[in-house]
Structure 1
Amino acid sequence: MPKRNTNRIYNALYRYYIAYNSILCKIIVRFKLLFQDVIIGNECVFYGNMTFEVGNGGKMVIGDRCIFRSKKTSNRIGLNHRCIFSTTPVDSSCELRIGNDCGFSGTSIWCFKKIIIGNNVRCGANSLIMDGDAHFEDERTSPPKPIIIEDNVFIGANVVVKKGVTIGRNSVIGMNSVVTHSVPANSIAVGNPCRIIKQISI
């Protein structure tokens, strides 16, 4: 049998496997959420089993039609770990809120105060978003500051978004960047620390 035919058969079987795995992971995640204070919208898709951690006083709200890739091979770049979303209040409460139609691949989000992510935001493989330093018992750390990521932002693979940052709508953050300062709307920004290299019109 020609290789292209066997390749088609393999690809078809793999698609069925991915679809079945996605349904199974969705059931597992939905079951876990019965015991946690997480509100999640309709038609969300899970490739692999992700982790939600909600501390006392934490709140997590996720919109409709979001995609979570936690299986290592579900992203062609390859994922270092599953998606991990955590809320750990440092005072009375904290909130992680995510809009509709967002995508996450092996993304870690750790919220201590407030992280707001708009609609149609894409977070590339192994990205990290933290609004605090953790280890607040260490006097060298400073208090958490809110992060706001507006609509239609594209965050590349391995990007780190630090506390107190706002990324304006339609902006693109290049791979391996570390975002330490706010990025205005309609910008392309890259580097460590991240700098604006171009304005775009949409």
Structure 2
Amino acid sequence: MNIFLRIINKIRMLYWQVMGYGLARMHGVVIGKGCKFYGLPIISRAKNSHIVIGDRVVLCSDSRYTALGVNHPVILRTLREGAELNIGDDSGLSGSSICAAVNITIGKKSLIGANVLLFDTDFHAKSPVNRRYCREMEKIATKPLVVEDNVFIGANSIITKGVNIGCNSIVGAGSVVVKAVAESKIVAGNPAKEIGNVS
């Protein structure tokens, strides 16, 4: 890389750091020290909800800085009053979407691959009557989602409401996880099934 491109890259990185922290704080996010922004995330926080980002978390929203590229920026969103979204220290996300209606927790040192979706709600009511426009929250199914420490979720996976992924586990790329994953297991597929152990 020539000197001109290195200078441009340093300026870009400085801009993202300043703007990333500023954007997070503007939205009332509690953010730790040493976080890195590659591109700017999309943040949306419902009234009286909480988003907490730990120390040294990496949020990659720019395809130039991750091998597979990203389809869109990292999205961090709470949907209801009282919702909680927590990302533990030293975790990394690339173009991931996290939508919390009640509670989503990502543990420490977890890797969330490119374009992964995590959500703790069905978004719409189960009943077909007025499903599209229903805003009665008690009719929309929700259940907390937990990703424990040191979990690796492969690109383009979907993690649905009520799932708990045990520490050290791996979710294969493109998987749809609809039930709990025990500690130190490898799962893959749609729906995801256990295919091995983390040695």
Instruction: Please give the TM-score of this superposition, normalised by the length of structure 1.
Output: 0.88
Superposed CA deviations along residues 27-72 of structure 1, whole A, max 9, x for unmatched, are 1122223332210000000000111110112100110001111012
Structure 1 position 165, deviation (Å) = 0.1
CA distance in 2, matches of 1:44, 1:68: 8
Q: Does 1:110 pair with 2:108?
A: no
Task: Name the residue aligned to 2:43.
Answer: 52
**Deviations 1:126-167 (CA, angstroms, capped at 9, x unpaired):** 11100111134x625741100011000000000100000000
1:123 to 112, 115, 124: 112
Change (3 A) 1:33 1:16: same
Runs (4+) of structure 1 moved beyond 3 Å? Answer: 12-19
The correspondence for 2:34, drawn from 23, 43, 51, is 43
* Gapped regions of structure 1 (runs ≥ 5): 1-8
**Structure 2: gaps spanning 5 or more residues:** 129-138
Please list, as runs of the form range in 1=range in 2, the aligned pairs for 1:95-174 lying within 5 A after superposition: 95-136=84-125, 139=127, 142-174=140-172
2:38 and 2:59 in contact (8 A); partners too: yes
Percent identity of equivalent pairs: 36
Contact 2:84 2:103 in 1 (8 A): yes
In 2: Cα distance, 1:19 partner to 1:134 partner: 40
CA RMSD of superposed structures (Å)? 1.7
Question: What are the superposed Cα offsets for residues 56-95 of structure 1, whole Å, 9 maximum, x if unpaired?
Answer: 1210011000111101222121110000100011xx4110
1:64 is matched with 55
Aligned residues: 189
Q: How many Å separate the matches in 2 of 1:198 and 1:123?
A: 20
Could you list the per-position Cα deviations for residues 79-136 of structure 1 after superposition, in whole angstroms to 9, with x for gaps in the alignment? Answer: 10000100011xx411001110000000100000000111000000111100111134
Moved more, 30-39 or 189-198: 30-39
